[in-house]
A and B are shown apart, each in its own frame.
Chain A
Amino acid sequence: MRSLGDWDLAEELVQDALVAALEHWPRDGIPDTPGAWLMTTARRKGIDRLRREARYRDKLAQLQEEPMHHGSALGDERLELIFACCHPALPRESQIALTLRSVVGLTTAEIARAFLAPEATIAQRLVRAKRKIAEAAIPMRVPDAEELPDRVAEILGVLYLMFNEGYVASAAGERRDLADDARWLAQLIVRLMPDEPEAIGLLALMTLQLARAAARFSPDGRLVLLADQDRSRWDPRAVAEGTALLGRAGRMRRTGPYQVQAAIAACHAEARSWNETDWTQILMLYEGLVRMTGSPVVRLNRAIALSHVAGPARALEEVEALDGELARYHLYHATRAALLRDLGRAADARAADRRALALTDNPAERALLSERIGA
Chain B
Amino acid sequence: MRVDGGSHVKYMLMFISDDSSWDPSKPEIQAAYARIGAWFEEHRSSGKIIGGEELKGTNTATTIRRRNGKITVTDGPFSESKEAIGGYALVDVTDLDEAIAMAKTWPVLSAIEIRPLVER
Interface residues of A (CB under 8 A from B): 2-3, 5-6, 87, 89, 134-139, 141, 143-144, 146-147
Partner of B95, one of A139, A146, A147: A139
Smallest distance from the beta carbon of A116 to chain B beta carbons, Å?
A: 32
Q: A151's closest neighbor in chain B, by CB?
A: B97
Smallest distance from the beta carbon of A209 to chain B beta carbons, Å?
A: 33
Q: Which of B1-9, B27-35, B44-52 contacts A (4 or more CB under 8 A)?
A: B1-9
Interface residues of B (CB under 8 A from A): 1-4, 7, 9, 94-97, 100-101, 114, 116
Q: B2's closest neighbor in chain A, by CB?
A: A5
B4 touches A136 (CB 8 A): no
27 intermolecular pairs with C-beta atoms under 8 Å apart: A3-B2, A3-B4, A5-B1, A5-B2, A6-B1, A89-B100, A134-B1, A136-B116, A137-B1, A137-B2, A137-B95, A137-B96, A138-B95, A138-B96, A138-B97, A139-B94, A139-B95, A139-B96, A139-B97, A141-B95, A141-B97, A143-B97, A144-B97, A144-B101, A146-B101, A147-B97, A147-B101
A135 touches B116 (CB 8 A): yes
A3 touches B3 (CB 8 A): yes
- CB contacts (< 8 Å) of A146 on chain B: these are 101
Smallest distance from the beta carbon of B103 to chain A beta carbons, Å?
A: 11
Q: B8's closest neighbor in chain A, by CB?
A: A137
List 5 additional contacts besides A5-B2, A138-B95, A139-B95; criterion CB under 8 Å.
A3-B2, A137-B9, A137-B116, A141-B97, A147-B101
- CB contacts (< 8 Å) of B97 on chain A: these are 138-139, 141, 143-144, 147
Smallest distance from the beta carbon of B105 to chain A beta carbons, Å?
A: 11
Q: B98's closest neighbor in chain A, by CB?
A: A139
Smallest distance from the beta carbon of A18 to chain B beta carbons, Å?
A: 23
Smallest distance from the beta carbon of B63 to chain A beta carbons, Å?
A: 28
Q: A5's closest neighbor in chain B, by CB?
A: B1
CA distance A2 to B4 in the complex (A): 7
- CB contacts (< 8 Å) of A6 on chain B: these are 1
Smallest distance from the beta carbon of B114 to chain A beta carbons, Å?
A: 8
Q: A146's closest neighbor in chain B, by CB?
A: B101
Instruction: Sort A-B residue pairs by CB-CB distance and give the 8 closest, nearest first.
Output: A139-B95, A5-B1, A137-B9, A137-B95, A138-B96, A3-B4, A136-B96, A137-B96
- CB contacts (< 8 Å) of B4 on chain A: these are 2-3
- CB contacts (< 8 Å) of A136 on chain B: these are 96, 114, 116
CA distance A143 to B104 in the complex (A): 15
CA distance A147 to B7 in the complex (A): 21
Smallest distance from the beta carbon of A175 to chain B beta carbons, Å?
A: 34
CA distance A147 to B98 in the complex (A): 11
CA distance A143 to B101 in the complex (A): 10
- CB contacts (< 8 Å) of B1 on chain A: these are 5-6, 134, 137
Q: B114's closest neighbor in chain A, by CB?
A: A136
Smallest distance from the beta carbon of A88 to chain B beta carbons, Å?
A: 8
Smallest distance from the beta carbon of B39 to chain A beta carbons, Å?
A: 17
Q: A87's closest neighbor in chain B, by CB?
A: B96
CA distance A2 to B3 in the complex (A): 8
CA distance A147 to B94 in the complex (A): 16
CA distance A239 to B40 in the complex (A): 55
Given the interface contacts A136-B116, A137-B9, does A89 sit within 8 Å of B96 by beta carbon? yes
A2 touches B2 (CB 8 A): yes
CA distance A149 to B2 in the complex (A): 27
